[in-house]
Structure 1
Amino acid sequence: MAYYVNHGEDNDVEEFWREERLPYFQEIILQSNYQPLDRKIYVMYHGTTFAAAIQIIQKGFKQSEDGMLGRGVYVSRNKDKAARYPLGNQFDQVILKLRVNVGKVIAINYQGHPFQKTWHNYGYDTAWVPASSGMVPSQLEEDCIWDPKRIKVVGIAYASQYCITALRNMLVQHDVTLLLLLFLILALLRQL
């Protein structure tokens, strides 16, 4: 089951997830070397810190101000790509399992592509960088989603033993108190 908290945004959010409510809906796990099809819902991943994961689960994703593809939320269908984040901080790493409604997709398949940072201005919802593009040093595919409402957290793909139970409970129960307590415990453990 997937969880999405509507934080007062318009009803377009429901349109993104209509397909998911159909009785025959199944998650699509698309291999990272295939281009995503327009208007489909795919399983993707996002690597972050424990504190950021709490914020994402509570309030949803926020766009990055800038990056290789400009503004947006950076995710990947490749869990190994998500496992590279957060940079330099693996102690409290969390990999969120997501469902993403990609909307209209453009492939940005070389550095200096004319729409590399402006793709959303041309009506695209997702920019996809193929693994074979040479744009990403890891050679792993990457996606940039313009509208954070197109993304929902559906599970925890990885977290330390201290974090995973609390995050999963938060997804189900939105239990903030338990997570804050766990966050304090993690902070104390770092000081040891």
Structure 2
Amino acid sequence: MQYQWAEDDFDMPEGVGRLGLSEPVSGGKYVMYHGTTKKTAQLILANGFKQSANGMLGPGVYLSRDLQKASRYPIDHPESDRIVIKVTVNVGKVIAINYQGHPRQKTWHDSRYGQVYDTAWVPPKCGMVKSGLEEDCVWDPNRIKILKTIQPRQVQSCGGHGARGYM
């Protein structure tokens, strides 16, 4: 069974930026996506996002401005049971974590290490994420506003046949 993750992004909320490969601008608002299971999505919709205990960038809520990236999660879960939550995020102060072993990789929100950041951004194709797609980690779940959920649509396979009867 094949699935397609379609999203119409013609209805952008007012004051919210579109996906770009450039760093999210501090203080900006962006549409982002969070991939999860249908069961976990129900809990998030009922209770809001909670920080993960850990991860590549330490504690926080992991998101991406790339729907294709979010739709891959959870990675070891059947696509038919995945769902993506579309949100807007006020990113606050942003830091780019652009290589494995970055000195602030897990301490970007800790004041003991200097400037405090609200969002850590992993640029696309920097070698930190296997897919090569961007990732964001937001410290405070209150910066996230849920817009809607996106479910995969089953796509009919044509069995390799082209348009029959046409020359």
Following superposition, the deviation at residue 112 of structure 1 comes to 0.7
Following superposition, the deviation at residue 30 of structure 1 comes to 2.7
Q: In structure 2, what residue type is equivalent to 1:131?
A: P
Range 90-99 or range 105-114, more displaced: 90-99
Following superposition, the deviation at residue 160 of structure 1 comes to 5.9
Deviations 1:1-36 (CA, angstroms, capped at 9, x unpaired) = xxxxxxxxxxxxxxxxxxxxxxx93331131x1100
| TM-score scaled by length of structure 1 | 0.68
Q: Is the counterpart of residue 148 in structure 1 residue 137 in structure 2? A: no
Q: Distance in 1 between matches of 2:57 and 2:146?
A: 22
Residue 14 of structure 2 corresponds to 25
Deviations 1:20-61 (CA, angstroms, capped at 9, x unpaired) = xxxx93331131x11000111100001001111111111100
Q: Distance in 2 between matches of 1:151 and 1:127?
A: 14
Bigger fraction of residues in helix: 1
Bigger fraction of residues in strand: 2
Structure 2 vs 1, CA of residues 160 and 57 (structure 1 numbering), >3 Å: closer, same or farther? farther
Gaps of 5+ in 2: 1-12, 155-167
Q: In structure 1, what residue type is equivalent to 2:106?
A: K
Q: How much is the aligned-residue C-alpha RMSD, in angstroms? A: 1.6
Q: Which of these two proteins has the greater Rg computed from alpha carbons?
A: 2
Aligned pairs (5 A) from 1:1-192 = 25-31=14-20, 33-89=21-77, 90-121=79-110, 122-159=115-152
| TM-score scaled by length of structure 2 | 0.78
- Runs of 4+ in structure 1 off by over 6 angstroms are none
Q: Distance in 2 between matches of 1:61 and 1:160?
A: 25
SS of residue matched to 1:66 = coil
